[in-house]
Amino acid sequence: MSDQVPLMELKRITKVYPGAGEPAHVLNNVDLRVSAGESLAIIGPSGCGKSTLLNIMGTLDGPTSGTVNFDGRNMLTLNDRERADFRNRSLGFVFQFHHLLPQCTALENVLVPTLVNRQTEHARARGTHLLDRVGLASRMHARPGELSGGECQRVAVARALINSPRLLLADEPTGSLSREGALDLTTLLLELNREEHITLVAVTHSLEVAEMMGSVLELKNGALIVRRGNAV
């Protein structure tokens, strides 16, 4: 294992949902190190806790116990505002459903995350560049209703990258696409991972998608098992 500080490190992460009946122990002492530049798939059946784990990595949810470090910094000591700022600057998110604003064009949707810091000419130029990069140069001014599912997901990828995040967290990014669309989108994500040096962590239940990534981990009974690559 390298001595370098990992980009993201989870230590002894436990997550218990109290619930009405028996508490659900979803994550049980999970350790994970993600190195800068790697591409990592997390697989496992529905309900095993993949989204829970990704949401904890994205500081969208907190663990019951354990620590979450990003670039050597403890994320759990940040206040809400600092955490939101960290997410906006350093993380990009892609979900199964694109969550684009229907009344806005592709380009306007891509620029939404830049509105917090006021929209600049630079942001517009980067948004145009990213839409071109994801193959939508001729569809920048189309609204989501005029785009296919795969095209909307490409807009969502461009939106996730607009603030040049270091880590892209994708939760079933290909879950709503055809097999061909899923393989195309995964190819695109891996090209962006290599070209822009964006670390990629993707949750998927497609083994075919997972096999395209650098490392594969399986979440099983609340624990992570290395299937290929990444030394947890």
Q: Residue 206 interacts with ligand ADP (CB under 6 A)?
A: no
Q: Residue 94 interacts with ligand ADP (CB under 6 A)?
A: no
- Per-residue x/- marks for ligand ADP, 5-44, CB under 6 A? ------------x-x----x-x-----------------x
To ligand ADP, the closest distance from the beta carbon of 84 in angstroms equals: 20
* Residues belonging to the chain: 232
Q: Residue 97 interacts with ligand ADP (CB under 6 A)?
A: no
Q: Write the burial class of residue 149 (CB in 10 Å: 0-12 exposed, 13-18 middle, 19+ buried).
A: middle
How many residues in the shown chain lie near ligand ADP by CB under 6 A?
12
To Mg ion, the closest distance from the beta carbon of 203 in angstroms equals: 6
Give the integer Cα–Cα distance in Å for 222 and 219.
Answer: 6
Q: Which does 163 bind (CB under 5 to 8 A by kind): Mg ion, ligand ADP, none?
A: none
Helix (H, G, I), strand (E, B) or coil at 32: strand
Token representation of residue 195: 């070209």
Strand segments, DSSP code E, in the chain are 8-17, 24-34, 39-43, 65-70, 73-74, 91-94, 167-171, 199-203, 215-220, 223-228
Q: Residue 186 interacts with Mg ion (CB under 5 A)?
A: no
Taking CA atoms, 137 is separated from 46, 134, 142, 163, in Å, by: 36, 8, 11, 19
To ligand ADP, the closest distance from the beta carbon of 156 in angstroms equals: 18
Token representation of residue 93: 């998110």
Q: Residue 174 interacts with Mg ion (CB under 5 A)?
A: no
Backbone angles phi, psi at 8, to 5 degrees: -135, 140
Q: Residue 50 interacts with ligand ADP (CB under 6 A)?
A: yes
| Nearest to ligand ADP of 132, 208 (CB atom) | 208
| Nearest to ligand ADP of 114, 206 (CB atom) | 206
Q: Which of 35, 51, 59, 199 binds Mg ion (CB under 5 A)?
A: 51
Q: What is the CA radius of gyration of the chain?
A: 18
Q: Which of 6, 10, 30, 52 binds ligand ADP (CB under 6 A)?
A: 52
Q: Do 66 and 12 contact (CB within 8 A), yes or no?
A: yes
| Nearest to Mg ion of 49, 92 (CB atom) | 49
Binding site for ligand ADP (CB under 6 A): 17, 19, 24, 26, 44, 46-52
